[in-house]
Amino acid sequence: MADAYVAIEGDRVIEARARAPGTARGELVFTTAYTGYEESLTDPSYEEQVLTFSYPLIGNYGVREERFESDRVHPRAAVAREMTDDVAEWLESEGVPAVDHLDTRDIVTEIRDEGAMKCGIAAGPDVTEQDALDELHECKHMSDHTDIGAQVSVDDVEVHNESGDGETVALVDCGAKGSIVSSLVERDAEVHVFPYDASEDDVAAVDPDLLFISNGPGDPENFEQAGELVETYVGDVPLAGICLGQQVVANALGGETEKMEFGHRGVNQPVRDLRSNQVVMTTQNHGYTVADPGDKLDVTQVNVNDDTPEGLENDDLNIITRQYHPEANPGPHDSLGFFDDVLGMAGE
């Protein structure tokens, strides 16, 4: 008899095995990554989502804290075909429900056919199908999580590599992965990490050489303060952005963003540079994209699979953004040069 249930839109309920007890709800998404489950589970961009792993075995090389991208697990729940005890015990210690022994191929196919959908999960010895359905019926759309920035951002300014020899970077934390900060620090930058709702005065106090908008979860239109900083600094200070950061920059400069059907989540997304015609493999995790970059940004890179914008630039205004994750944790290292490019731009 099943001791866990996954309820998805249309009130379909899937039986499973409980690996970490509890109830949860969120947007049901999948990642195609075959390694990097620790990084994915601690990626703030998965806030308010239920993460399904398409790779069948999760946990085959244990759990090591040095691989974490933040200080906690961010998905509301985890779903796998088979999950090891190491991962299950870690998720239980974090209070995050987890289930396995279900056909994740079927879930992935349904998401690809129907799009990302609301989900409810109930796991444990005393749960019922109705518990999962109750969670499903209380689930909100991602765009309705208007306060999601507060759930993933720092509360106060943090400084990394203080008095570094390189450029001073004002990083607006909309849910930044730790490896983004590390990638900048490794290049001698002094990184000031600001809350997602930082004011112009807050940022001006450090006299930055570069304004950097980070990745993060949810709808970019819910990060209005970050967009206002872009409007304030454009043309005066170089601008950079990753993932949600690209979307925030585009919105602030007259472009438009939209919700994708099921997003890009994995470590094998092919991206073509329109100038060199070179294709690189990238790590991605996003459910929104730039639908129209507006007239201030040029599309310089596109996704090979669906032609969505992967890179936006303006040489005159010193702007470089990427939809994918150049820090590559986990994933291929094809695009690590992004950090050299933006810091070089800041130092001109």
- Give span(s): CATH 3.50.30.20, the chain: 4-140
Name the token pair of 139.
Answer: 């689930």
How many other β-carbons are positioned within 10 Å of the β-carbon of residue 182? Answer: 17
Residue 245 among known ligand-binding residues:
no
Q: Is 2 helix (H, G, I), strand (E, B) or coil?
A: coil
Angstrom distance (rounded) from CA 212 to CA 224: 15
Strand order in the sheet with 239-242: 158-160, 190-195, 168-173, 210-213, 239-242, 319-322, 309-314, 298-303, 256-273, 279-292
Q: Is 45 annotated as a binding residue?
A: yes
Annotation says 325 is catalytic = yes
Pairing verdict, β 239-242 and 319-322: parallel
3-class SS of residue 280: strand
Torsion-angle region of residue 4: left (phi > 0), alpha (psi -120 to 50) or beta? beta
Pick the CATH number of 148-346 from 1.10.357.10, 3.40.50.1100, 3.40.50.880, 3.20.20.20: 3.40.50.880
Beta pairing partners, 186: none
Identified catalytic residue from 110, 190, 313, 327: 327
Q: Is 192 a catalytic residue?
A: no
What per-residue confidence (pLDDT) applies to 165?
Answer: 87
Q: What is the pLDDT of residue 336?
A: 75
145 in catalytic set: no
224: its two tokens = 């209005």
Listed in order, the ranges of the chain carrying CATH 3.40.50.880 are 148-346
Q: What is the pLDDT of residue 1?
A: 65
The catalytic residue among 167, 190, 243, 286 is 243
Q: Is 317 annotated as a binding residue?
A: no
- 324 assigned to a ligand binding site: no
**pLDDT at 332 (0 to 100):** 66
Residue 262's identity, in one-letter code, is F
End-to-end C-alpha distance for the chain, whole angstroms: 65
Instruction: Give the residue ranges of the chain where pLDDT is below 70.
Output: 1, 331-332
- Annotated ligand binding at 288? The verdict is yes
CATH 3.50.30.20 is right for the domain spanning 4-140 = yes
